[in-house]
Amino acid sequence: MNEVVIDTNIMVYCFDNKLDLKVLLDNSLQENFSLVTIKKCMDELIQIKRQDVHKFFLFYGIKIIDFNVYKNTDSSLLEYCKGKKCFLFTEDKDLRNNAIRLGIKTLSLNGRSVKITG
């Protein structure tokens, strides 16, 4: 089973556009996957949306990884993904480019579908 590590910007986009994250990924990956994010991304989503965030995480079964207060950063996302069979799902161009340089497969939005890189 592949892991899909989700950045905050993807979750916000799904909230704002009422997109079903699982359907979006099922159509693109067509295989089993689990959803993962770091605590920093969850906290950012709570600050931005403030409502229904916990329901969102429960509905999609998103696992939250908490490295610790000082290590929940973009570089933590990259470190987590390195050497794993996973995808980093982000719209942050710098983060995506860094991931590609490290050999991490990435996902990005392409309208209402997902583009796979790497």
**Residue 65: CATH number of its domain:** 3.40.50.1010
pLDDT of residue 106: 93
pLDDT of residue 96: 92
Alpha helices by DSSP H, listed for 18-113, are: 21-29, 39-49, 53-60, 74-81, 93-101
Domain count, the chain: 1
Please check whether residue 37 is in contact with residue 5, taking contact to mean a CB–CB distance below 8 angstroms. Answer: yes
pTM: 0.84
* pLDDT of res. 70: 55
Name the residue range of residue 33's domain. Answer: 2-117
According to the model, what pLDDT value does residue 88 have? Answer: 92
Q: What's the pLDDT at 41?
A: 80
pLDDT for 72 equals 61
pLDDT at 94 (0 to 100): 92
107, containing H or E segment: strand 105-110
State the pLDDT at residue 116. 85
What pLDDT sits at residue 2? 81
Q: Which residues of the chain, if any, have pLDDT below 70?
A: 1, 50, 68-72
pLDDT value, residue 69: 57
| DSSP β-ladder status, 86-89 and 2-6 | parallel
pLDDT for 103: 93
Residues whose CB is less than 8 angstroms from the CB of residue 29 and which lie 6 or more positions away in sequence, other chains included: 2, 4, 87, 114, 116
Confirm if 36 and 65 have CB atoms less than 8 A apart.
yes
What is the DSSP pairing of strand 105-110 with strand 113-117?
antiparallel
Q: What is the pLDDT of residue 74?
A: 78
For residues 8 and 45, the answer to whether their CB atoms sit within 8 Å is yes
